[in-house]
Amino acid sequence: MARTILVTGGGTGIGRAIARHFAAEGERVIVTGRRPGPLKEAAAEIGVGTAICDHTDPAALTRLLDDLPASIDVLVNNAGGNIAFDADGRTDLASYARDFRANLDANLVSAALTTKAVEDRLAAGGAVVHIGSIAAEQAAGSYGAAKAGLANWNIDLAHALGRRGITANVVAPGYIADTEFFRDQLPDERRKQLVAATATGRAGVPSDIAGTVAFLASPAARHITGQVLHVNGGARATR
């Protein structure tokens, strides 16, 4: 029987690839985002259901529940990104506070709120997968702090859901090309450095992340929980 998969921020980039992967496996997929355009494109391309939602907004999440089925097998908290790319350049303390909080909201609070909103609907034997980042392991300002916080909070979540047979894990990508993440602000020199840092000699692509998320949601991964799985081509090694 088809599973129900909710992919936040699934209109573009990594989220779209995750949605495409699950849809190709015959699962029932719902993707969310704030802009109608990318969601319409995703629906046209892969035949997924869509719902508008800002995952940092509790009221929007409460409204989203009306559009969701009573049971969800897999929640993918993918919505996020580095708000620093959208900052207006102001450096006064109030602006710093706004931008810092915006990154925490976009990458940490959004995942916690979304999980809380649908927690009662998560099916036994299901999975929650968050998209973290290699940025959690290195100097990366409020964005890195938010993704590091996400990995820590996930440990608590894994314990809260474990007795229901639901796993909770983080997939932490390195540099992934072909998404809207960097806007148009990734200089060619920096892109070359990111690729040169890998052992594989190539940029990651969204399907690399989709395959890993699908594995963590699969029967083969039922005893993997509370973990961070790094998908970065060896750009940063773990033991």
Ligand X SMILES: NC(=O)c1ccc[n+]([C@@H]2O[C@H](COP(=O)([O-])OP(=O)(O)OC[C@H]3O[C@@H](n4cnc5c(N)ncnc54)[C@H](OP(=O)(O)O)[C@@H]3O)[C@@H](O)[C@H]2O)c1
- 171 is a site residue for ligand X (CB under 6 A): no
- 50 is a site residue for ligand X (CB under 6 A): no
CA distance 232 to 239: 14
Smaller CB separation from ligand X, 166 or 235: 235
Collapsing DSSP to helix, strand or coil, 222 comes out as coil
Residue 50 pairs in a beta bridge with 31
- 79 is a site residue for ligand X (CB under 6 A): yes
Return the number of other C-beta atoms located less than 10 Å from residue 54's C-beta.
17
Based on the residue annotation, tell me whether 143 is a catalytic residue of this protein. yes
- 233 is a site residue for ligand X (CB under 6 A): no
Binding mask 121-140 for ligand X (x = CB under 6 A): ----------x-x-------
State the minimum distance, in angstroms, from the CB of residue 223 to ligand X.
25
Return the number of other C-beta atoms located less than 10 Å from residue 236's C-beta.
14
- 170 is a site residue for ligand X (CB under 6 A): no
The CA angle 33-185-204, to the nearest 5 degrees, is 70
- 111 is a site residue for ligand X (CB under 6 A): no
How many chain residues bind ligand X (CB under 6 A)? 31
With residue 216 as reference, give the H or E element that holds it: helix 206-216
Catalytic residue among 27, 53, 128, 143: 143
- Which of these segments, 34-42, 68-76, 84-92, 210-218, binds ligand X (CB under 6 A)? 34-42
CA distance 147 to 140: 10
